[in-house]
Structure 1
Amino acid sequence: MNKILSSTLTAFIIALALACSKTESSVDEQDGLSAFSQDSLIKHIVKLSSDEFQGRRPFTIGETRTVEYLTQSLRNMGVEPGNGSEYFQKVPMVEITPTCDPAMLVNTGKGDFSLKNMEDYVIWTENTDSVISVEKSDVVFAGFGVVAPEYNWNDYQGIDVKGKVVLVMVNDPGFSTGDTTLFKGKEMTYYGRWTYKFEEAARQGAKGCLIVHNEKAASYPFSVVQNSWGKSQQHLDTRGSKEYRCPVEGWITEAAAKKLLNTISDGEALLVKANQKGFKPVALPAKVSTSMKVKAVFNESKNVIGKITGSKRPNEYIIYSAHWDHFGIGKPDAKGDSIYNGALDNASGTAAVLEIARAFKSLKNKPERSIVFLFVTAEEQGLLGSAYYAQHPVYPAHETVGNLNIDVINNFGRTKDISIAGEGQSELEDYLKKEVESKGRYIAPEAHPEAGHYFRSDHFSFAKAGIPALTTGSGIVEVAKGKEYGQKQQELYTEKFYHQTTDQYDAATWKLEGGLEDTILLFQIGKRLAFETTWPQWKEGSEFKALRKK
């Protein structure tokens, strides 16, 4: 009896030890921390955002210098090439410049009118045909343009939109009503993101898709649309792909959309009805005509990749990512400066990943899993570099443990809090929470969940591939000056620096202690994962959970 009990107890202890080893390996919390240097972080930011790099736009000398700098930095650290013998992955792209008609003609049974290009609407194309046109195309108002079986929602039910132009609303059905039973209420799901609207319209066979702009629902004014689209844009080179995209994509102001809707009686009421379950799409008694000439230039950009091979499980990968690109040289500001240096966005995130790479190389206990450092191109053009990597992964998705992405770090001081974009998505958030709480800090709710920040940076490309992905946002409760100060700093950045020539490193005002602390948090998460055998999962309710199972 005692032998049986002894054997049972021994077996239990062994099983318990094995179970613990699967979730928690012995991790030296201090290992690697001494490698982090604020001076080194600043050095990288200053170099990458200098005028010498000309704003780091793909296809320019700025890209060449950036790729050389990143490659040499990784080589100097002893980080091995991440794509065979190369430090880069070629990303085939195309730069498309549309020259649009000055107006869109609208024919109705009660008279005709026209809408002005760049004033009432902004359109573009990813099609490389020399001329793109819509000639007296039918118009269908398709609510939010959403097909979501899990929410029992189909805005295209019962109507054929092939060859037609669809008019759809931005964001989710739950946003404007605040109804928490509709989708995720005010928190945007991917169904609310403008990229999804175009994707679904294409799946439905539409010839064109116009998104009705609303400043609150989109989280930015129409001026952002005017400044960002309708001009030269870069896209992935999809020649040879059978995937269909609407030849005409764009945004339309709410006022202009109402002119189209009012071609039927009480048409504006459809904007409200579209928020209700059971909404049916409506064919409008209007036909639209416009065209654009297209100039297409094909070229290649580069993702930069470095790797530290795992000592025990080299075929399991943890990927750190940041985008190296910005907008290059553009319209001069009031002072005549035309270089969009992108110091915070995203020289700071790029520099942070370089610091993490240096810390991993300094570890006394080498990581058991492989650590990948991925610097992607063309994020500012629509997450193109990360999208290409996700579609053509160097390391298979089913062998990738997770993605930790850095897009802009805190430059105004240490904070008590930190935020998560799209909180509630994956178990990587639990790892962050543990690290944050161990430092006496806390995770604050996302300030604007309706803005859909989870779908607006490179980690999203990994999420779409089923890989758990995490990106954090700067906290706002500054340790010494409080919440109001932190809020003002973030508002100041958005107003005065975001996507402007003024986004430059300023030694007199930048305080990177907080940014470095946040970077170390992400290093510690990756280090913990590097010594575990567990695989972080998507949480219940995440729209990406089913993709991981596949």
Structure 2
Amino acid sequence: MRTALFLLLSVTFCIANAQSPRFKAKYLNSISDSSLQQHVYILASDSLKGRNTGTEGERKAARYIVENFEQNGLKPFNDTTFLQNIGLWSWQWKEFKLESKQRDFENYKDFVYLSTAPVAPEIKAECVFIGNGSDSIFNHIDVEGKIAFVCVKSFRSWYRIASKTKREGAVAIFMVHQSDNDEFLKASERNRVLHQQLSIGTREPVFSESMIKAFAVNQNITEELFQLPYDSLKQLNYEQIKSLPAPKLTLACQLKVEIADANNVVGYIPGKGKTNEAVVISAHYDHIGERHNGICVGADDNASGTAAVIELAKAFAPLEGKLNRDLIFLCTSGEEKGLLGAFYFADHPQEHRFDIKANVNIDMIGRIDSTHKSNYIYTIGNNHYPEFDSLLHVANNMLEPMKIQYDYNKSQGFGNFLRLSDHYAFHRINIPVMGFFSGLHKDYHTPNDTPDKIDYQLMEQRVKLIFTTTYLAAQKTAFTSQTDE
């Protein structure tokens, strides 16, 4: 049977090598708070638009990481390129059209599309008014093959009435707010931001023709369509509604679907070259992009982790050819979409030559959470790997010790942090992992997660602990096993 051995000789060997003055002065001292700050401010700048997966902002971040990897002498992970395309599809809104015989209506000013399915080819149909969409209206108004126009109390709960009109045969639905035209402006602004963002998936999207086509419209266009002011329109009885004009409209909402330009950035520093064994140091460099209330620049999540990987690459560079294992520096894309980049790297070993023995993952290490003042770090996953935990404590005792916190190792269900960052891609295939994390805060996934809120001196201390732990993990006697007869 195969049994993991927690080798005291391994720890003794590592301490003897790592505690030398040369180790501390030459390598650890190259990690600085000012350099970390510079990286975070660049990666979390507004010009990168929140680094959403597959966007130009994320590609700018990738180019910056590549530039630093090259400057620090890293080699491309497959000896050809630092970029690993992760095989995703993207789709984004391309064109919105609403036309009558009289004029073309203006997107976001006159109308806004609420659904996610494209309207392509375009729809040409009559538009009929159906009041508030009560069940009885369908006994008087035929909506089969037509565009239904309805008064609603809220645009946020549009799906119920849209589904009802779809069942009655309507090809699309226009909704106008019953009382507050400012609600249209709010809905328009929310969806304007959403329409500018890429959607990302692992497969080419398929959109059913049966999906509902729903629009919010400005009250001002009702008079153009039905030749009555909105206040008069909503007072009509069934017979009066039946006598309204039914203008013919043309609708189109087109999507651009293509293979996504979404890439992991991967470089490595060779070890002594006797084996292909490697330790992966990872952090995701993507974030969530823009929201209706601003750009989510993602300083802590995860410009901080990405800055740490860049700084660690610089610190380890002088050790090329000296460690027993190769060191892989992996900045992943698509973490916010479901750990997509990390899964791709872990599941495609044929794209590189490495035999991965451990993963050190860094996700949000720049802030102080509500339960601490300073001098702490959370670790995740090491409760599954006692030898990794031992290396962590040896490393911590070699430095000015930090408080090692295990709170996030105890979480379960959706809050199981072992499953919520890139280290899970390795853990699930039985590669030992350790995640470094500084805890959640109120600015998480909001535009308020900004570079000025990072504690860079504390971040430097954390990165030095990560460096030392990784140094120990790169020794030949760490993460070994033998067969007991």
Match of 1:321 in 2: 282
RMSD: 3.7
Tell me, yes or no, if structure 1 residue 27 matches structure 2 residue 17.
Answer: yes
Counterpart among 380, 385, 388 of residue 421 in structure 1:
380
Instruction: In structure 2, give the amino acid aligned to 1:357.
Output: A
Cα shift at 1:414: 7.2
> Does the CA contact (< 8 Å) of 1:35 and 1:362 recur in 2?
no
Tell me, yes or no, if structure 1 residue 235 matches structure 2 residue 201.
Answer: yes
Matched ranges for 1:33-182 at <5 A: 33-95=28-90, 99=116
Q: How many Å separate the matches in 1 of 2:159 and 2:361? A: 33
Structure 2: 5+ residue runs without aligned partners? 1-6, 93-114, 119-153, 161-166, 168-192, 206-210, 212-253
Match of 2:459 in 1: 515
* Structure 1 residues 232 and 40, CA gap change in structure 2 (3 angstroms): closer
Matched ranges for 1:519-530 at <5 A: 519-530=463-474
Q: Provide the secondary structure at the position in 1 that maps to 2:383.
A: coil
Match of 1:306 in 2: 267
Match of 2:445 in 1: 499
> Does the CA contact (< 8 Å) of 1:310 and 1:371 recur in 2?
yes
Q: Provide the secondary structure at the position in 2 that maps to 1:300.
A: coil
Moved over 4 A (4+): 116-122, 293-296
Cα shift at 1:322: 0.5
Tell me, yes or no, if structure 1 residue 443 matches structure 2 residue 409.
Answer: no
Q: Provide the secondary structure at the position in 2 that maps to 1:424.
A: helix
Counterpart among 408, 427, 430 of residue 390 in structure 2:
430
> Does the CA contact (< 8 Å) of 1:23 and 1:533 recur in 2?
no
> Does the CA contact (< 8 Å) of 1:81 and 1:307 recur in 2?
yes
How many pairs align?
327
Q: How many Å separate the matches in 1 of 2:480 and 2:436? A: 17
Cα shift at 1:22: 9.2
Q: How many Å separate the matches in 2 of 1:120 and 1:444? A: 46
Match of 2:221 in 1: none
How high is the sequence identity, in percent, across the aligned residues?
Answer: 29
TM-score between the two structures when normalised by the length of structure 2: 0.60
Q: How many Å separate the matches in 2 of 1:121 and 1:420? A: 43
Cα shift at 1:83: 2.0
Counterpart among 316, 322, 346 of residue 390 in structure 1:
346
User: Residue deviations 1:470-489, cap 9 Å, x none?
Assistant: 102227xxxxxxxxxxxxxx
Matched ranges for 1:284-363 at <5 A: 296-331=257-292, 333=293, 338-363=294-319
Tell me, yes or no, if structure 1 residue 370 matches structure 2 residue 314.
Answer: no
Greater relative CO (CA pairs within 8 A, separation 6+): 2
User: Residue deviations 1:238-283, cap 9 Å, x none?
Assistant: 79xxxxxxxx9xxxxxxxxxxxxxxxxxxxxxxxxxxxxxxxxxxx
User: Residue deviations 1:47-106, cap 9 Å, x none?
Assistant: 1111221211222221221111111111111112122221111111113577279xxxxx
Cα shift at 1:437: 4.2
Q: Provide the secondary structure at the position in 1 that maps to 2:49.
A: helix
Q: Provide the secondary structure at the position in 1 that maps to 2:86.
A: strand
Q: How many Å separate the matches in 2 of 1:474 and 1:340? A: 19
Instruction: In structure 2, give the amino acid aligned to 1:535.
Output: F
User: Residue deviations 1:298-343, cap 9 Å, x none?
Assistant: 3231110111011143511010000111122332x2xxxx322111
Q: How many Å separate the matches in 2 of 1:521 and 1:19? A: 20
Match of 1:411 in 2: 367
> Does the CA contact (< 8 Å) of 1:317 and 1:395 recur in 2?
no
* Structure 1 residues 59 and 474, CA gap change in structure 2 (3 angstroms): closer
Instruction: In structure 2, give the amino acid aligned to 1:502.
Output: N
Instruction: In structure 1, give the amino acid aligned to 2:290.
Output: I
Q: Provide the secondary structure at the position in 1 that maps to 2:407.
A: coil
TM-score between the two structures when normalised by the length of structure 1: 0.53
Q: How many Å separate the matches in 1 of 2:449 and 2:8? A: 49
> Does the CA contact (< 8 Å) of 2:378 and 2:437 recur in 1?
yes
* Structure 1 residues 91 and 312, CA gap change in structure 2 (3 angstroms): closer
> Does the CA contact (< 8 Å) of 1:23 and 1:532 recur in 2?
no
Matched ranges for 1:176-215 at <5 A: none
User: Residue deviations 1:141-198, cap 9 Å, x none?
Assistant: xxxxxxxxxxxxxxxxxxxxxxxxxxxxxxxxxxxxxxxxxxxxxxxxxxxxxxxxxx
User: Residue deviations 1:499-544, cap 9 Å, x none?
Assistant: 11122211xx53222222111111111111223333268xxxxxxx
